[in-house]
Structure 1
Amino acid sequence: MTSVCPLAQEKVWFDKPKYDLAEKKYYERLAKGAPTQNGNPLNSLAGEVAKARQHIKNSLQCIDDIANMTSPSAVIEVSNRLNSLEKENTDLKQKVGELTALLAKLEIRVKDLEKGNKSVGLQAVTPNSTVASQAVAKAAHAGSQASANVKTAGSQAKSQPAKQDDDDDGVDLFASESEEEDEEANKIKEQRLAEYAAKKSKKPALIAKSSIILDVKPWDDETDMKEMEKRVRQIEADGLLWGASKLVPLAYGIHKLQINCVVEDDKISIDWLQETIEEIEDYVQSVDIAAFNKI
């Protein structure tokens, strides 16, 4: 008892690590064993419940589809389609029957035509001899009748007096009328030709003309441009017509006279016109052609 008492009064637990290790192993076994024993039955049960729910949902969907198909509107639509199909079927059968009847009629007609052609060919071959004999007889009869007509016409011609023939030869009314008509036609033709020639001669002949713009340059800025224009317009000739004019500035206060004129090509020469204007030496230095157009 003396040896035990000190141990009982000892406050230090020397074997505590052993107990901790045993406790640890115990709880580890509990933690590992809980999902294997309790998890699998729960998962399998939840899966079965989900499968049952999906099956019920699918069955309800099928029932809804069947209900929709058996609704009054769906039944009416299906019946309408069936009626239209039956009508189309009957129409097709009727048309096929009509076509078969037409084909049968065509076959019968073709056979009849073939038989008719054969019979016509036989008839055309056999009566050739009879037709030829009939043609010969008709030709002989016509020849005899023609000869008889010629004889009667000759006897009648001989019986007429020769005096009548002379009188008829002397009178030719139709020939005289035709000659008069020809003369009148020639007169009308000559008259129309003369009128056409007179009308053509009255038409005025086309006259070739040209429109020219001349640049008339003075000597300096002190040149009287109005007097120069006046002297230029005093140039007159048959086929020359002066037009509008204006002053165009050059440089240093000097202006040039730009004047328009129309000339007849057959009567007025451009060189002659330039030379004539340049002869006004007191005012004109030079003359140039700014524009030249045919009219």
Structure 2
Amino acid sequence: MSALINEKIWFDKTVYSDAERHYYESLSKRGNANLEVGSSLASEVAKARQHIKNSLECMESVASLAGVPNTEINNKLISLEKDNADLKKALDDLRKLVISLQARVESLESPSGAKAEAPKPAAAPKKAQEPEDDDDVDLFGSDEDEEESAEAAKLREERLAAYNAKKSKKPVLIAKSNIILDIKPWDDETDMAAMEKAVREISTDGLLWGAAKLVPLAYGIHKLQISCVVEDDKVSVDWLTEEIEKIEDFVQSVDIAAFNKV
């Protein structure tokens, strides 16, 4: 080996030749790929140009049509605007009517509204309210005139008395409420008929019991649903529920299912 140190010999030439061949082959493959990409880009550019051309032609046709007046479309637009205005006016009228009806119902349902709707007493006879005219008094009149005035005064008093008696006999508006109560027993062994009988035995002025029925709850347990009408000034709902809850042998609890003014 020492004899070959100074010799200029390329022992690895085949290795470098193979490397050079592989290098040029890779360059050739890259060139083909670039050619394919270029052709695909060219086709995409051509498609984009054609699409732009078609869009411009379509816009030109639309612009040409827009310049032509269409009487039928204008008439339809005017008709639609008129119908829209009519519908809006009808809707506003309907809204005002609903608001007025709601205010009317609220005034009737409120206690103050009930009092306001109470019938007013009839006006007293016009002749009874009209004062005597002092100008017609004859200071030098005869006894017959005095008798006539006395009879007129008596007749007026009689009419006033009859009117006051009629007014006092007019019925007064009584505020009442319709209540539906849910009365729950202790268990499924509670005698519901006996419980209803005990509830109906609660009696006072202004309380009237109505219909009753059994409503299933769960596990064979039923609740007693009973209705009643009470006068608000005479019977309190709290008092009524307390009286029912005093029936401890049957009643577990009492709930108000519905409460309406009559």
TM-score, length basis structure 2: 0.45
TM-score after normalising by structure 1: 0.40
Higher relative contact order (CA 8 A, sep 6+): 2
The structure with more helix, counted as a fraction of residues: 1
Structure showing greater Rg: 1
